[in-house]
Structure 1
Amino acid sequence: MGTHRLVSQLSLDKPLHPVRVKVICKGPTVVGSGFQKTVLIIGDEKGNTIQATLVIDLEASADMPLEEGHSYEIKDFELSHVIPERVRLTRNRYNINITKASVILKIDPIKHSSFYCFPNWDDLYRGLHHPKFPIGSI
């Protein structure tokens, strides 16, 4: 087994080692004038989450589709800063971009974290969290 990084250790200043993550949720989105991509929320064994994106065409051509609830090792990906004006699906300041050069390997399940953080009732009552979506930092 080679060296891998946790999601919280990713930085543009460091070499990009592979990450071992679990796909928490996955969904299609349309950007601009019809450009389609898939958005993933992925998390590591410590419960750190990050948003990842891949082009729909890339997913369709992949031998192994990324499925919710399954764990993968992702190599040779690109890392970019999250654009502040856009909706952030995680608290991570980076976004993983899966490209044609990326290598995705299915691995044994990551079971160490549920990836959910439920807010305090007082914070929910004070309006610090949306009452319909009370799950915290995914």
Structure 2
Amino acid sequence: MDDIFFKAKFTTSYEEDGVLTVAFSDSEKPDPENYIILQRAIPEDPDDYFFEINSRELSGEGGFFSAELNENELKIIFSEKLKEYSEKNGIIINISECKELVHSGISNALDLIFQLSDCKYMHR
């Protein structure tokens, strides 16, 4: 099994109607080919976070084993169940073109997305 990989050219983080959204995509166009959307109701939601990767076919609640944000990438490892379903190990997003935006606030948003979940989140 390999990983889903893309280079992010656009990223955003915002709160609207009590839902925190974090998104990365390979384009600023309305229908990018590669993207990930992460959402969670805040301040605290007993339900898990929601994700969508490249289409609604690969979406759901929870499902990540770990997520790590470093200077150049966001790497997410899928849970065993999601690995079986997707036939992928995880997703690696190169953020080198938008890392200033990422490190200015998206790390904190990812903290909120993954808090109280089974996903182990680290920022280095």
Task: Tell me if both proteins adopt one fold, taking TM over 0.5 as the criterion.
Answer: no
* Structure ranking higher in strand proportion: 2
Q: Which has the higher contact order (CA 8 A, sep 6+)?
A: 2
| TM-score, normalising length: structure 1 | 0.28
Query: Greater CA radius of gyration, 1 or 2?
Result: 1
* Structure ranking higher in helix proportion: 2
| TM-score, normalising length: structure 2 | 0.30
